[in-house]
Structure 1
Amino acid sequence: MPIFIVALGVLLLLLLIVKFKINTFIALIIVSILVALGLGMDITKIITSVETGVGGQLGHLALVFGFGAMLGKLVADAGGAYRIAITLINRFGRKKIQVAVVVASFIIGIALFFEVGLVLLIPIIFAIATELGISILYLGIPMVAALSVTHGFLPPHPAPTAITAAYGANMGQVLLYGLIISIPTAIVAGPLFSKIAIKVIPSAFERKGNIKALGKQKEFKLEDTPGFFISTITSLFPVILMALATIFSLAVKGDSTLKKFIEFIGAPGTAMLISLILAIYTMGIARKIPMKTIMNSVEISISQIAMMLLIIGGGGAFKQVLIDGGVGDYVAKMFNGTTLSPLLLAWIIAAILRICLGSATVAALTTAGLVTPLMVSGAVNPALMVLATGAGSLIASHVNDAGFWMFKEYFNLSLKETFGTWTLLETIISIVGLICVLILSLFI
């Protein structure tokens, strides 16, 4: 049975990564080849399938992912992210401090990848919590909720960007619908959940945190950072361009020259390039930073995501093998005539793979390879499939996920406390995200 072979492949992948500590990219390629053999693929076509998967995935992704990393690095290095966080926290005040943290983390989370946003925001959160005399976790939960939501649902983050290409979805629509479901999800998993968690696991909220785990951090003086407005606009510019182009395209019928131009500007690659050029000016040239220093930040940002790009390419290889090996068609036949929504099925498969593998990106890409044939009928919006898969890929982060250990160490929690806060928070994001997607599907 193809499903049995895939299950063995997933178990082997888990064994190679967790037990033998093999690099995730290498493990993905090994498992892709072995699964292809198990599925009876022509041995002369297996490497071609792997290469097609890697190339097809990165061909869609490299521009958006690369430009996104550069943009985020420029905003972070210039102190723009620091300015956004401090300004919002000061303006909202003590009573609405959690809301301020959610808003700041959400804006920063769009521009920066999860790990970078976490490392940048934690010192700020620790300092504010100490000054106000409140628990660091009281602010930490809303912070990671907002960062995790943007990581799971919104391009240019790895998983949503990769599966947008895999499903053939419109990235502007993914961004627009993702914003709609991200806001309520972040509120439920952040401020609302923290009020329950503090009663269920009070000991976690008494922890002082471990700022030393972050290593040496770049320090900023607020007066030396870019202004709040320009920092926010620069961070959100790709979102603004893609969202406006999508709205314009949906609202204006026909095929005019203006519409084509707007769609060109709002295309993911173009939008990210324009936003990067803006960031080079606002976060660099306008602040009289030498071009050599600006380009150094750009180069560092690419070196930091090189392995992530390869891992995503490896996930694309595994996905392609599942498609070429007929597993996707087999799954489609299994569910032929079923009343189960493809959105729910995508969420379930992604959730199972996430729990097994730990990596949200690999879980999401593998799911895309399995359920894409179910979309042939056109009964489901591809953008919603991206969001349903993204929601499933976030569930129940535990010991096989790097995010679990980062959260545990930075907030100095025990394993039990980490399961009761971080793991539960990720599960809430996954379930609430799915509910929002299903509600949205009633209107789209």
Structure 2
Amino acid sequence: MTTELYLLVLAASIVLLLVLTIAVKLHPFVALISTTAFVGFATGMPLDQIIKSIEGGIGGFLGMLAPILVLGAIVGKMMEVSGGAERLARTLIRLLGRRNTHWAMMIVGYICGIPVFFQVGIVLLMPLLFSVARAAGMSLVMVGLPMIIGLFTVHCVVPPHPAATAVAVALHADLGKVILYGLIVGLPAAAIAGPIIGKMIGDKFTLQPPEHLLQIAALPDDQLPRLDVTLITILCPLVLMISKTVFEMALGANHPIMPVINFIGQPITALFIAAILAYFTLGLARGRDMTSLRSFSESAIGPMAAILVIIGASGAFNKVLMDSGIGAALKVVLTAWQIDPYLLSWGTALIMHIAIGGATIAMLTTVGLILPILPLYPGVDPALVAVAIGIGTIGFSHVNDPGFWFVKEYFGLSMPDMFKTYTASTIIAAFVGLATLMAFRLVIGA
């Protein structure tokens, strides 16, 4: 096949994926596997090779990811049931003062969003949001938008979130570097698109959240865990994974202590330690028994199945793109175009998010398109590419994004007001994040 025909098949596969997920409303797993098979057939791959590529792609992606995501879900669940997020929010509001409640809620969303999913974070923090907004005399948009943007930014950019982790693994990026880069690059994006924009537009919109949400009471202060316990538990896996990167840079890969540091800093080890710590600090130490901990773990692991099969299917899609010859065709075209790899990664993710909607499938589709062309850029930093994909995915959340509707229902905003608040803020976050990333790459020489 010619390069043009390969690119035509690629374009057709993206259109097919959009049709299957948006128009036909197939489950993303079925849509991705169907699209993967189409690519194999259309490019003339032998039938047995299509099956081998699908199996290899799924196995290669899930081998490392499954335990990481399950352990991360357990840590998030323990924070959810313990009230750790509320403790963090109340402490920050006391420290920053009620006039800066919107900044406090952005920080809460940014930190609490590390171990919990975007939607879970919203449900978890909404009762607190209503109470602090009333106490501070601020509009719900002014206080709530920073929290939402903080949650969504780390959801897209920072492992151990499923899509961010899957992208990092696919790119063979150091997870510690992805976490460190993601937190640094994401913070200005969340700060400008959240509290600064929220303060500018907050009083212009009226929210009508569902009545039952307004009746949910926040937990009494004496039922919440201590702040130090909460922070240690949340930050434990991040510190362990980042320390591996920092020690390697400071001591060198051949230092005698590095095998131990590498073992502790591996994502599976770090999250296993964090999960055991969470069982004690947020569970047993607060009067929970082992039966409760098992129940919490089961409720955390169950929802991961749907995410894992989607990630596995995206791995199959990536593998078939590589094995079919489409990856090589992309290299030929992009060699002539000479597009900056970070800008290309960001732009592709933004387009995929606009087209597909869901952040997870948008990120996984993007990495499948970007992965074949990375060899064109010998000096590229895979960790920064992973962050660029995450930052691009933040942008332009609209009606085909499940998260858009989740925010709409919980905040009670009209459709035009959702575009003026939430969608606009995600666009601002994506562009601020891009500018920050481009400045940061100069600092680290990437």
- TM-score, length-normalised on structure 2? 0.94
* C-alpha separation in 1, matches of 2:98 and 2:221: 20
Are 1:120 and 2:124 an aligned pair?
yes
Give how far 1:224 is off.
1.6
Q: Percent identity?
A: 39
The alignment status of 1:440 with 2:437, answered yes or no, reads: no
Count of residue pairs the alignment pairs up: 439
Distance 1:314 1:426 in 2: 27
Structure 1 gaps, min length 5:
none
Q: Residue 98 of structure 1 aligns with which residue?
A: 102
* 2:18 alignment partner in structure 1: 14
Task: Provide the residue aligned with 1:285 in structure 2.
Answer: 284
CA distance in 1, matches of 2:186, 2:317: 29
Give, in angstroms, the shift of residue 221 of structure 1: 2.4
Q: Is the 8 A contact 2:349 2:393 kept in 1?
A: yes
CA 1:100–1:36 in 2, change beyond 3 Å: closer, same or farther?
same
State the SS of the aligned residue for 1:393: helix
1:302 corresponding residue in structure 2: 301
Letter of the 2:166 counterpart: A
Query: Which of 147, 153, 158 is equivalent to 1:149?
Result: 153
SS of residue matched to 2:252:
coil
Q: Deviations over 1:103-142 (max 9, x none)?
A: 1111111111111111111121112112333211111110
Shift of 1:396: 0.7
CA contact (8 A) 1:328 1:369 kept: no
Aligned to 2:349: 350
Equivalence for 1:255? 254
Looking at structure 2, the residues matched to 215 and 131 of structure 1 have their Cα atoms a distance apart, in angstroms, of: 14
**1:373 to partner: Cα distance:** 3.1
Give structure 2 stretches of 5+ with no counterpart: none
Matched residues in 1 for 2:22 and 2:268: separation? 35
Equivalence for 1:396: 396
Q: Does the residue aligned with 2:338 lie in a helix, a strand or coil?
A: coil
- 2:78 paired residue among 69, 74, 77: 74
Q: Deviations over 1:38-86 (max 9, x none)?
A: 1221121112211211111111211211100000001111222222222
- 2:113 match: secondary structure: helix
CA contact (8 A) 1:388 1:437 kept: yes
Q: What does 1:385-424 align with in structure 2 at a 5 Å threshold?
A: 385-424=385-424
Evaluate the alpha carbon distance shift between residue 401 and residue 227 of structure 1 in structure 2; reply closer, same or farther with a 3 A threshold.
Answer: same
Q: Quick one: which of 104, 107, 111 aligns to 2:115?
A: 111
SS in 1 for 2:394: coil
Matches of 1:442 and 1:38, distance apart in 2: 42
Structure 2 Cα separation of the partners of residues 184 and 282 of structure 1: 31
Of the three residues 165, 187, 198, the one matched with 2:169 is 165
> C-alpha separation between the residues in 1 aligned to 2:358 and 2:125?
23
Question: Secondary structure at the residue paired with 1:336?
Answer: helix
Q: Could you tell me which residue of structure 1 aligns to residue 207 of structure 2?
A: 207
The one-letter code matched in structure 2 to 1:411 is F
Could you tell me which amino acid in structure 1 is paired with residue 219 of structure 2?
A: F
- Structure 1 residue 219 displacement after superposition: 5.6
| CA distance, structure 2, for counterparts of residue 22 and residue 254 of structure 1 | 46
Partner residue, 1:228 = 227
Cα drift, residue 215 of structure 1: 11
Q: Which moved more, 1:390-399 or 1:337-346?
A: 337-346
Q: Do 1:350 and 1:364's aligned partners in 2 also have CA atoms closer than 8 Å?
A: yes
CA 1:435–1:163 in structure 2 vs 1: closer, same or farther (change >3 Å)?
same
Please, what TM-score do these two structures have when normalized by structure 1? 0.95
Shift of 1:211: 5.1
In the alignment, which residue of structure 2 is the partner of 1:323? 322
